[in-house]
């Protein structure tokens, strides 16, 4: 009998709880809804898979979702310079415009240089990058009456599939983690977007030549900056710069720059074209060329 009573009490408590949960804020129950982000305000996919410009990571969250849902952005990117080709494919998931999970696979084709370096013609380094980004403060779009940018922090775990080669050129390890903090702000009154990122990294050439070096090891801050102009609702034109460490004595490494244009056909398809200068790579100077990226998602 007492058990039965307990059951009754539990049932009553459950009903009360259900009523409280169900009716406490009847108007306020939020519906789960996909999509809704304004065109291009989630940025495009960067070469490391996270939402950003082309070379740099921004504080925006990938995907077409708002705080009400989940969005996805998939991309394919090809960068062809004088001596090398970098192709990247990846997918990023944005959760409630708050958390971003990303994966990208990079293939760095050494083409003719591979033969010259004794690796073989078309020798290719592959790198997997898994990223997490969390938006901490501010809103890049809505906070037009404040100076506060949108600030996010994130990390990227990078793993290179050629540990032997990267160690041979002087790198200390073939996988590592980058940590970054990013601030992005859209100034609607002038249609200009500005973004800056500080990245603690040991990556040589984004990690394609491994992590840490014979010249120095340990984390060092590197900088990524972007400025973009919203020419129309669909078209953004901008410039980016990104510093890189210089830790391998066999070949100098320098900063990378690009000039880009991103065009959104609609909310599910956009294209980014850029002229890039990746600086010297593995002793081959002035790696300039084209950057082309297609992005789809919802």
Task: Choose, by CB under 8 A, the member of 98, 173, 220, 288 that binds another protein.
Answer: 98
Residue 29 binds another protein, judged by CB under 8 A: yes
Q: Report the alpha-carbon distance of residue 225 to residue 227 in Å, rounded.
A: 7
Binding string to another protein for residues 51 to 70, with x set by CB under 8 A, is what? Answer: ---------------xxxx-
Minimum Å gap between C-beta 32 and another protein is 5
Residue 36 binds another protein, judged by CB under 8 A: yes
State whether the Cα torsion 182-292-125-288 is positive or negative.
negative
Task: Write the CA distances from 59 to 156, 258, 263, integer angstroms.
Answer: 14, 19, 20
Residue 146 binds another protein, judged by CB under 8 A: yes
Stretch binding another protein (CB under 8 A), from 33-41, 153-161, 172-180, 280-288: 33-41
Stretch binding another protein (CB under 8 A), from 231-239, 245-253, 255-263, 274-282: 231-239
Residue 230 binds another protein, judged by CB under 8 A: yes
Residue 142 binds another protein, judged by CB under 8 A: yes
CA neighbor of 295 nearest in space, from 76, 32, 148 = 76
Q: Which parts of this chain interact with another protein (CB under 8 A)?
A: 27-33, 35-38, 66-69, 96-98, 139, 141-146, 187-191, 230-233
């Amino acid at each position: 009998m007492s058990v039965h009573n307990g059951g009754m009490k539990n049932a009553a408590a459950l009903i009360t709880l259900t009523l409280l949960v169900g009716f406490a804020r009847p108007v306020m129950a939020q519906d789960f809804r996909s999509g809704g982000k304004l065109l291009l305000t989630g940025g495009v996919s960067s070469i490391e898979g996270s939402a950003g410009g082309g070379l740099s990571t921004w504080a925006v969250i990938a995907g077409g979702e708002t705080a009400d849902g989940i969005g996805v952005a998939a991309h394919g990117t090809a960068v062809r310079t004088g001596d090398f080709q970098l192709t990247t494919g990846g997918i990023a998931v944005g959760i409630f415009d708050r958390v971003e999970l990303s994966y990208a696979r990079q293939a760095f084709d050494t083409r003719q240089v591979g033969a010259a370096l004794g690796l073989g013609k078309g020798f290719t380094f592959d790198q997997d990058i898994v990223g997490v980004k969390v938006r901490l403060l501010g809103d890049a779009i809505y906070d037009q009456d404040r100076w506060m940018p949108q600030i996010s922090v994130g990390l990227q775990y990078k793993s290179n599939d050629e540990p032997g080669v990267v160690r041979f050129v002087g790198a200390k390890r073939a996988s590592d983690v980058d940590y970054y903090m990013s601030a992005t702000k859209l100034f609607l009154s002038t249609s200009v977007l500005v973004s800056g990122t500080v990245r603690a990294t040991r990556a040589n050439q984004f990690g394609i030549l491994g992590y840490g070096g014979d010249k120095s090891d340990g984390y060092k801050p590197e900088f990524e900056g972007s400025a973009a102009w919203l020419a129309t609702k669909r078209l953004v034109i901008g410039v980016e710069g990104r510093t890189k460490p210089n830790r391998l004595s066999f070949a100098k490494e320098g900063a990378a720059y690009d000039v880009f244009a991103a065009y959104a056909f609609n909310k599910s398809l956009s294209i980014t074209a850029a002229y890039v200068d990746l600086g010297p790579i593995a002793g081959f100077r002035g790696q300039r060329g084209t950057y082309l990226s297609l992005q789809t998602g919802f």
